[in-house]
Structure 1
Amino acid sequence: MLSTLQIVTTVVVGLLVGVEFAVAFIMSRILNALPDDSSQLGHAHGGRMLGRVMPFWYIGSVVLGVIWGVAGRHDGGAGLVVTAVGLLILSVVMSVLLLVPINNRNRTWTPENRPADWREQLHRWERYHYVRVAVIIAAFTLLVTALT
């Protein structure tokens, strides 16, 4: 049972890393290369779409990590799992405090109502997102290492 939990947790966090990496290094660059209206509308749509899914994915990753940490507390990799969970919690805190407020504004913008500094706000979101991606990559790496 523990090995199934370990695999499921690792896959869920790995997929989270993949999606967030793609957002940071592929989707944002594609959207930023579009003309202003299309770029802004694409970012808004992405914010609405991913804004519905990602909270469950992030919290689910934390919950799975906590369960793994408790169930495998006597295993050799328990410290790695606890550290990974700490990093996943940090990513949730970063999301709530730094990224979600910008995303909540962005997803309601249209070419008619967007603020003059909309690009600067999106660039700030991207910088925070790069840090969050690094944090969840570190968490994923620790989980994979705990499996060995």
Structure 2
Amino acid sequence: MIPALAVITGTVVGLMAGVEFAVAFVFNPIMTALPIGPSIDARAHGGRMLGRAMPFWYFGSLIFAVLLAVFTWGTAAAASALVGAALLAVSVIMSITLLVPINNRSKTWTAQEHPADWREQFRRWDGLHYARVAVVVAGFVLVLVAGVVL
């Protein structure tokens, strides 16, 4: 059962890390390079779409990592799983306190109606997102380490 939990946890967290990596290093740079109207529209649409899915994915990843830490308690894998879960908890806290407020504002913007500092707000979100991606990837690596040392 524990090996299956490790595989499921690694898969769920890994897919989330991959999506967030792609957002940071592929999709947002593409959208930023677009003219103002399409850039704002694309990021607003992405914010609405991912804003519906990511809370479940973040909390699900955290729950799986915590379960992995609990079920491996007393083994060599437990410390890695626990630290991985702690990093995923940090990513949830970062999301709720830092990124979601910007996302909630920006997902309502249109090419015609947006604040004058829209570009600055996107840059701030992107910078915070890079930090969150680093935390999520580190959590993913530690979950994988836990699965390997079982």
The answer, yes or no, to whether TM exceeds 0.5 is yes
1:74 Cα deviation after fit: 2.0
| Identity fraction in percent | 51
TM-score computed with the length of structure 1 as normaliser: 0.98
1:95 Cα deviation after fit: 0.2
Flag structure 1 segments of 5+ consecutive residues without an equivalent: none
Indicate whether 1:5 and 2:10 are aligned: no
Q: How many residues align?
A: 148
Partner of 1:55 in structure 2?
55
**4+ aligned runs moved over 6 Å, structure 1:** none
Asked if the contact 2:87/2:138 (under 8 Å) is kept, the reply is yes
- CA distance in structure 1 between the aligned counterparts of 2:107 and 2:5, rounded to whole angstroms: 35
- CA distance in structure 2 between the aligned counterparts of 1:15 and 1:84, rounded to whole angstroms: 15
- CA distance in structure 2 between the aligned counterparts of 1:116 and 1:128, rounded to whole angstroms: 20
Partner of 1:107 in structure 2?
107
Partner of 1:44 in structure 2?
44
Task: Indicate the RMSD between aligned Cα atoms, in angstroms.
Answer: 0.6
- CA distance in structure 2 between the aligned counterparts of 1:75 and 1:110, rounded to whole angstroms: 52
Flag structure 2 segments of 5+ consecutive residues without an equivalent: none
1:143 Cα deviation after fit: 1.1
TM-score computed with the length of structure 2 as normaliser: 0.97
CA shift digits 1:92-147 (9 cap, x unpaired): 00000000000000000112220000010001000000000000110011111112
1:11 Cα deviation after fit: 0.6
- CA distance in structure 1 between the aligned counterparts of 2:95 and 2:123, rounded to whole angstroms: 15
Q: Which amino acid in structure 1 is aligned with residue 44 of structure 2?
A: A
